[in-house]
Structure 1
């Protein structure tokens, strides 16, 4: 059995890349991309900076790994849930809000989203990865669900992609509000109730017959 004094990176060598990625996620969310230091990421992961470089040569590679290993799997699971739901869309939107709320509660996704928005001009690759792996997946899945509901005669005519943005936008704004204004004293929005109220309001205009009683 390893001694308690054995360095963390030697005790759990197989876990080393995942620990580095989780540490990078936390540092990116707290400090932003430009201010994030590989030394701090290595320290939080319990590895040497040299060990970190064995797996990730740059911060850009680390950001790719954060998106691909931590956030994108959740987004793909959410899209699969949306694609596999036969209807009605009112039930699906309630499920979507619940999954989205759980994701941003369990992982510091909001902090990383704020980082991408704030630093996209200087680091456009961050925005490209975030869009391709996450935003396009979420909006694409919602748009497909809306189009399917339109084909069933459930949802009014309109651009499914625009409807998808209308569905997601208040949730995203609430997350950005939490990351930007709550730290300086603003009252937060409770995401699950906000999502529930938003969906109930949206359905009045979205559904052909209006929401079921």
Structure 2
């Protein structure tokens, strides 16, 4: 079978006529000239009159791009996850209803369940998108870090706040702490996919410093808790309208994290 040649379209874009014919046969545009014709008929028509390809009304980039409805469909999972994150952080897991998520995303409940068959699966997808990804990226950066272990620990704590603690996704931590006992399966999921890998990263950094001689000999497990606990407290205070910090100086989070990291590094250094 002989394939049609490519023609110049709008002087810059080169597109095979076979692709254009296929697109034209599916779109109700250009005064109905092509709509309803088969792919073969469009191809024949284009072959008979190549000037059609230089018609200013034929926006080939638009022709060969997905329709608006299809483009919206491609972005729909992200819109649903964004709506779910907002509601889970604002209302908690138990109080958030699937129909609320669907309404916030501008779709029906049935559409929501096409992508996420249950509220539990929706929550897991939110965690994977907003938390697990941050942990995974952090593990790669730690593995490739070229500086000292002291610098790495500072970097890790600073970036943890910037990429997670400072975002609305950090409200998931409060949700798990406050509701985990009522939803043990979700708590176990969070433990496996977030807490365990994150603790492993921190342990690797501490072990790296001890092996290099930068850090003194110390108990790694208890040190991990010393590092994590104040940072968790800061997140909980942030999502509880800072009630636990009432009357205290309004310390910028970045300053708190930097000072906390500095105290840890000084305490561990030989």
Q: TM class, shorter-chain normalised?
A: 0.7 to 0.9
8 Å contact from structure 1 (residues 139, 161) kept in 2: no
Unmatched 5+ stretches in structure 2 = 1-26, 28-67
CA contact (8 A) 1:154 1:207 kept: yes
CA distance in 1, matches of 2:87, 2:102: 10
Paired residues of 1:143 and 1:160 also in contact (CA < 8 A): yes
Bigger Rg, which one: 2
Work out whether residues 83 and 141 of structure 1, in 8 Å CA contact, stay in contact via their aligned partners in 2. no
Question: 1:206 aligned to 2:268?
Answer: yes
Higher mean alpha-carbon deviation, 45-54 vs 10-19, is at 10-19
Q: Cα RMSD between the aligned structures?
A: 2.3
User: Residues 38-90 of structure 1: CA distance to partner in whole angstroms, max 9, x if unpaired?
Assistant: 11101111211110011112111011101112221111111222222244222
1:196 matches 2:266? no
> Structure 1 residue 20 and structure 2 residue 80: aligned?
yes
Deviation at 1:19, TM superposition (A): 1.1
Deviation at 1:28, TM superposition (A): 0.5
Equivalent residue, structure 2, for 1:35 = 95
In the superposition, relative to structure 1, how do residues 64 and 122 fare at CA in structure 2: closer, same or farther (>3 Å)? same
Q: Deviations over 1:119-170 (max 9, x none)?
A: 1111012211222111112111010111111111111112223222222222
> Which residue, 78, 87, 91 being the options, matches 2:138?
78
Query: Normalising by structure 2, what TM-score?
Result: 0.69
Which shifted more, 9-18 or 108-117? Answer: 9-18
In the superposition, the TM-score normalised over structure 1's length comes to 0.86
Match of 1:154 among 214, 218, 221: 214
Secondary structure at the counterpart of residue 12 of structure 1:
helix
1:121 aligns with 2:185: no
1:64 pairs with 124, 134, 137, which one? 124
- Does the aligned pair in 1 maintain the 2:145–2:152 contact within 8 Å? yes
Q: 5+ residue gaps in structure 1?
A: 2-7, 209-213
After superposing the two structures, state which structure 1 stretch, 21-30 or 9-18, moved more. Answer: 9-18
1:185 Cα deviation after fit: 8.2
Greater relative contact order structure (CA < 8 Å, 6+ sep)? 1
Shift of 1:10: 6.2
| Maintained 8 Å contact 1:150/1:157 | yes
The 3 A distance-change label for structure 1 pair 68 and 107 is same
Of 49-58 and 89-98, deviating more is: 89-98
**For residues 9 and 164 of structure 1, what CA distance do their matches in structure 2 show?**
49
